[in-house]
A and B are shown apart, each in its own frame.
Chain A
């Protein structure tokens, strides 16, 4: 039984933590939070590219480090913990994974080395309005190689160079690569629950596109990409939830009320124990997702769904109860608690919310039972 990070992976993770503690302290995250004109931490993005993290799971032939996905998961956990305000997930978990999964040779050799080097930022656009996306009724359409329609919200849509867009072509969903720097694309930065991760409205007017994957396969590919992203996002959630528990614990050990530290009251101890239980459940499910992702196992859809559900629940619980443990101080802008509360929502929604994933999981269980 070897159900843990290896020693090398632990080393990578430790190094990532030290690096991010130095380069992405919450004081740096707050620069992005407080300035509406700053969408991401450019210096951090450059530094992360120099570390090779963007290409951790990209094969060497395409300019990456050619490590496995477990290594990328280890990095993801630390990115989540540090609240790194960079378009890492959009570019790596969504776009790079989609291109590796469904791109043709030309797309792979053009895009992957640029992603690995930090030369381009990517985004993945599916949502068009309130409610879950299912690939069935899309207002964005492609005809004659031109895309028309509106995607909202698109995470990192205001800063990305390329987008993968889910759009209908001849009544069937397709996935399309779009150059966002083209004059046919209008972008508008929008206000988000989590200002440390930017979102935009993208309007396409006869934007030239190239298909990624086979015609009519756009939703199938998107589901596969979301499975992969879900595992990686789960590690960010595990990292963030772990940090919340640490913060709550540290505060509970130094804050006095009624003559003793609040961490000696069972009301607080049990709250923190509940956080710990949820965090461990999330970590174990995330590890299983990492294994399934790394080995491309048939269990990936169920494992990814379980990882995402557990990760979303753990981070939500830890982030809200961390504020509660901090009392009135926790509700101030200056104390960091709300940064995690906000990020927990951003991560839980970005690849489809828990309701969607629970349904995906149960469908998988039904399929498994029928088999």
Chain B
């Protein structure tokens, strides 16, 4: 039992570190604007850095070399990500495209389409987003109502997607739509790739409860796509979507926001450190955070041995999101009346606890709610049966709907 790289992993890490040392500095944000995510400067730096990585086989480490990938292993990808994080050049813009959308294109599109899209995506020239969630289908993705109707060699699409990360800067997207409402819901869907710059596509930012606007609604009004933009067979959209979701990248990064050290710092400032109730809580938070970090080490061990980590990685977000919410609130309450202040200039530690308090409800929902993740653990890890589904054998158009 140890935390050391194998000799091959150590050699790869050394090589990656050396390369990052020589190349990363010039792609690091230095100006205030350049450090602000979603600013044009930040995006430009990210694209330059992605192109540099692609040139050297670091953009998509596990992809085959024939597609411009690194031909490497998942553990190498994790190692590179760790080292990249240390030098402060990881930009999030390409994660969804390269982690989920483009692999789906590679699995289901024809040779011409693949040749057209894989390279530009890898080099950061084109960004992709994933258009699955809908107002009536969040946890229940297969409840998609966005409708595609065949018209000659084209499909005409109308409807709405929601919570689309990166839609505002994406060039292309993969879109899950309803093509046959007369069959049960899992059987009547189809997947397409679409051009996000088409005038029939309208992206509207969501004003989130946290006050920010990181996510979007996307509306389609008579959007016409060619049948050649179809990914997989008509009616196989759900199977294609499962492939997309299976490609979801292994999250290896630490969670952001205040941690046990931050709240210890606050406790010292507010004289809360000697409070027995606080110390009790602090121990619990530390143990959970360590448990999460160490569970990632176990996942890395599995990767290192060439095994596939199972769905047990879904414990990560359940712990991290709930802990963030609980700890933020504890921090805010520790500040007492002062805790209501949210201005970074006034609130302790640049309002770290207030900001994560407002963000935490979103984290408990995004990428699978606590409840869905628990279902996944119960069904896929423990082998318990799925819930009774009243909509399973009913034509989609006859499935009861509420709001």
Contact = CB atoms under 8 A, between A and B. Distances in A.
Contacts of A245: 382
Contacts of A265: 387
Interface stretch (B24-32, B288-296, B393-401): B288-296
Interface string B155-196: 000000000000000000000000000000000000000000
A277 B301 CA distance: 19
A288 B290 contact: yes
Interface string B280-291: 101110111011
B374 interface: yes
Contact of B282 (A264, A281, A365): A365
A234 to B, nearest CB: 11
Given A249-B383, A269-B379, A3 B294 contact: yes
A70 B315 contact: no
Contact of A3 (B3, B6, B282, B371): B3
Nearest to A305: B283
B304 interface: yes
A1 B301 contact: yes
Contact of B1 (A2, A260, A285): A2
B264 A277 contact: no
Given A3-B301, A288-B294, A359-B279, A276 B382 contact: yes
A236 B290 CA distance: 20
Contact of A362 (B283, B297, B302, B388): B283
A266 B377 contact: no
B300 interface: yes
A249 B301 CA distance: 27
Contact of B377 (A2, A252, A276, A310): A276
A3 B297 contact: yes
Given A252-B384, A264-B384, A285-B294, A306 B287 contact: yes
B388 to A, nearest CB: 7
A284 B283 contact: no
B291 A281 contact: yes
Contacts of B152: none
A291 B290 CA distance: 14
B387 A266 contact: yes
A2 B279 contact: no
Nearest to B295: A284
Contact of A277 (B2, B377, B386): B377
B374 A287 contact: no
Contacts of A310: 287, 291
B379 to A, nearest CB: 7
B391 interface: no
Contacts, number: 151
A338 B246 CA distance: 40
B388 A1 contact: no
A253 interface: yes
B298 interface: yes
Nearest to A303: B290
B384 A277 contact: no
A263 interface: yes
B337 interface: no
Interface in A219-278: 245, 249, 252-253, 260-261, 263-266, 268-270, 272-274, 276-277
A345 interface: no
Interface in A1-60: 1-6
B378 A269 contact: yes
A309 interface: yes
Interface string B241-275: 00000000000000000001100100000000100
Contacts of B312: 280
Contact of A266 (B273, B295, B375): B375
Interface in A337-371: 355, 357-359, 361-362, 365-366, 369
A1 B295 contact: no
Contacts of A178: none
Contact of B385 (A261, A290, A291): A261
B280 A287 contact: no
Nearest to A369: B264
Given A5-B1, A249-B383, A261-B385, 12 more contacts: A2-B4, A3-B3, A3-B298, A252-B384, A253-B385, A269-B378, A277-B315, A281-B295, A281-B315, A284-B298, A309-B284, A361-B283
Interface of A: 1-6, 70, 245, 249, 252-253, 260-261, 263-266, 268-270, 272-274, 276-277, 280-282, 284-285, 287-288, 290-291, 294, 305-306, 309-310, 313, 355, 357-359, 361-362, 365-366, 369
The 10 closest A-B pairs by CB, nearest first: A281-B291, A269-B378, A358-B283, A284-B294, A273-B374, A273-B377, A3-B297, A263-B384, A1-B300, A264-B385
